[in-house]
Structure 1
Amino acid sequence: MLQILGRASSINVRKVLWTCAELDIAFEREDWGAGFRSTHSPEFMALNPNAMVPVIRDDDFVLWESNTIIRYLASRYGGESFYPTPAQARARVDQWLDWQATDLNNAWSYAFMSLVRHSPQHQDSAALAQACSTWSRHMAILERQLDSTGAYVSGDAFSLADIAIGLSVHRWFATPLAHPSLPAVAAYYERLSQRPGYLLHGRNGMP
């Protein structure tokens, strides 16, 4: 059985949990990370030298990096409907998965640590204002894309990109900052909320 290592409150672990829900993959999960077993232990670092969750074990196959994991699960467990095999359609999904992991994640990191985690190292007012502005600018990119497709991030059909970005959208709405009007993003948030996996692992009250 698939094993998932990582605490369920981690946004990156929740990508994997939501993907498993979409694909009806049975799994066992172990709590690792903040408040649980240390990811800096030799046991965990033998699996992921970065000491970060999630990690999966699929029989003897070990994998880390959340977006890579969900790509793997879709490829291995019949997820062609939302991770298509034609090169151009797959590249469009990968484009937005990579954007989430780099540009969008970096945009919300400081503001989230300041406003939600209340990290003492993230309380500089100028840096926070800049971070909120940068986050809003990236959400405006998403707004334009969703307004163009009228449905989901990579087109008119749900894809893996929506799993990664849908969790970031929940974080956007759950973080106490001034939110500019983004009607396409708001409609997308409600559209994703029709999916049981998102309600369970995405829009579940955990920022």
Structure 2
Amino acid sequence: MLRLWGHKNSSNVQKVLWALDELRLDFERIDAGGPFGRVKDADYLTLNPNGLVPTLEDGPLVLWESHAIVRYLFSRYGSPPLQPSDLADRARADAWTDWQFGTLWPPIRTLLVQLVRTPEERRDQGAIEAARKSALAALGILDRQLSRHPWAAGEYFTFADIPLGVAAQRWYNLKTERPALEHVDAWYGRIKRRPGFERWVDLPLG
């Protein structure tokens, strides 16, 4: 039995929950992190020295870092097209997975913190506008990719669409100006119809 440590409102935990759902894997989830604490306890730190979530146990194997966990799950339990068999296709999926973390997520996270978790009177309007522009620039890159292919890595949904979809869910639910992006909008419509996204990701922001 796979065991996942983490609370279901964490964006990083949601990536793993969605991956587990896509792969139809049975698992046990233990609430940890956020309001549930536990992550600074000595026994948890032996699993994940960072004191963060998620952490996955698969028998004797213990993994942390959400993208590493998602890649592992698809590598071990996935099959084409979810897990590309062609190395070039897999490399493209890897590239978009890393791009989500390094390029798309930072400005969206800033918007999430400022617009959802910060009282209105304490919000930094300069940071909000800078983050909005950065997010739009990143989404423009994704839009161009999606003008050529229906999914991030090509013709099929792959593990790369999971972290991108989690970030997109935040973007589409933030109270901020969002100009239309034809291909991202259409891709997000397809993402929203996936049961794992609906079950684990499409939740109120917090």
User: The TM-score by the shorter chain falls in which range?
Assistant: over 0.9
> How far did 1:193 drift?
1.9
Number of residues paired by the alignment?
A: 206
Per the normalisation by structure 1, the TM-score is 0.93
Instruction: Please give the secondary structure, in 2, of the residue aligned with 1:18.
Output: helix
Q: Is the 8 A contact 2:116 2:205 kept in 1?
A: no
Q: Is the 8 A contact 1:18 1:197 kept in 2?
A: yes
> How far did 1:107 drift?
2.2
Note the aligned Cα RMSD (angstroms): 1.8
Matches within 5 A, 1:43-58: 43-58=43-58
Corresponding residue for residue 66 of structure 2: 66
Gaps of 5+ in 2: none
Q: Is the 8 A contact 2:56 2:63 kept in 1?
A: yes
Report the AA paired with residue 36 of structure 1.
F
Q: 1:6 to 1:85 in 2, by over 3 A?
A: same
Identity of aligned residues (%): 37
Corresponding residue for residue 130 of structure 1: 130
Q: Is the 8 A contact 1:74 1:80 kept in 2?
A: no
Instruction: Please give the secondary structure, in 2, of the residue aligned with 1:35.
Output: helix
Q: Is the 8 A contact 2:143 2:181 kept in 1?
A: yes
Per the normalisation by structure 2, the TM-score is 0.94
**1-structure distance, mates of 2:119, 2:94:** 32
Structure with more contact order per residue of length (Cα contacts < 8 Å, sep ≥ 6): 2
Gaps of 5+ in 1: none
Q: Is the 8 A contact 1:6 1:54 kept in 2?
A: yes
**1-structure distance, mates of 2:197, 2:179:** 24
Corresponding residue for residue 174 of structure 1: 173
Instruction: Please give the secondary structure, in 2, of the residue aligned with 1:148.
Output: coil
**1-structure distance, mates of 2:5, 2:199:** 18
Report the AA paired with residue 175 of structure 2.
P
Q: Is the 8 A contact 1:107 1:138 kept in 2?
A: no
